[in-house]
Structure 1
């Protein structure tokens, strides 16, 4: 004799509800599904592109401060103090060998909430390098940064000397947006703090990414100029933000 097992009403109701929910989710229009994904991952705007970013996302009276060639034990700590005092976040384009020498400074940069950028291992001109050689260098630089700050987010790459060659495509393939600039005050040849302040004030343009340095030499004039110019520009209605994330 075969025994027929009856489903309990409660269990049958639960199965019906589960099936209804599944069908509803499958029938959701693409726009709704995309919206759900965006809500789950705020701020995600797609993969990096080979386009070189040189502006802020919203334009207007906004500037993005970026600092190359650090970290440097003479200049970077004081610069971080200045930025903290004025409540400004910046991008630090890190030289890989300097990262290995001063990992504590990289940790401090990250801890203060600044953005990290790959600026190659030894600041070489890569304009004639093969894609394979570029990729190897960028990987080594990222590894050095992540040795100092495990799982660090490195959203940007900047080519030394602005000599791009094949680097934009390689960087984009590795998830890093190429980062250029629209205002360079040429602080690599220190002209005096007052002159740097003048160049920053007169060169300020809506949405510009600003190229400055905290490493590669004596950058005390740069730090002094940043300390002076931030409140001056803020008084004129400017604010400081990060560069655009996509080209």
Structure 2
């Protein structure tokens, strides 16, 4: 702080200014922004069409995340493109979902996985955070990808693992807007894989005289957005800052006492 500015302050204003700065720094420390995201495309904006000849169909492939191959537990009607998958899709296909970081999300259907491996360069405390949501109604899904005769959407149970260790199990409920989840973990330097895995299986109905026809009856959906892994600032940084401000305050009091 400029000494000329200090000299021009009325008596008592400097002490109040110091207290204000100290409070502001404490607030900054309590809500300090984490470091840069160690993951690529945590907002799921980078994708390419699964069917290049139908770029507007939806169900795109994530560019920066690995996913399981699209699959079905058993054969279904030709109008169903998959049963188990993670796709990049616009959130408007799933209703008026609020709270996301943008127009796109990773959408997990049933028993599927997505994962990404990242590197930690320095040992420390890291925050792992993401948003989840689900279809807003039982009929809110990308209808261009399925035979919609009887298909109803439900929420999805899923688990999150880091380096093979389970961080927790969660459920995205139908009608749920984007909701934040986070963990704080201590990590050593090295490579880690963050994985999201759906735990529910959809139901397929068979019909016809010999059960030769089939349609998906239920599907389970979770939307993911704003996935981050970032270093948590060390609290010692803010302690040193506050200590320096305290020293300034003591020095100011001594100067006032000397002048008095």
Determine which structure has more spread, i.e. the larger CA radius of gyration.
2
Kindly indicate which of the two structures has a greater share of residues assigned to strand: 2
Higher RCO (CA-CA < 8 Å; seq separation 6+): 1
Q: Structure 1 length as normaliser, TM-score?
A: 0.26
Kindly indicate which of the two structures has a greater share of residues assigned to helix: 1
Q: Structure 2 length as normaliser, TM-score?
A: 0.25
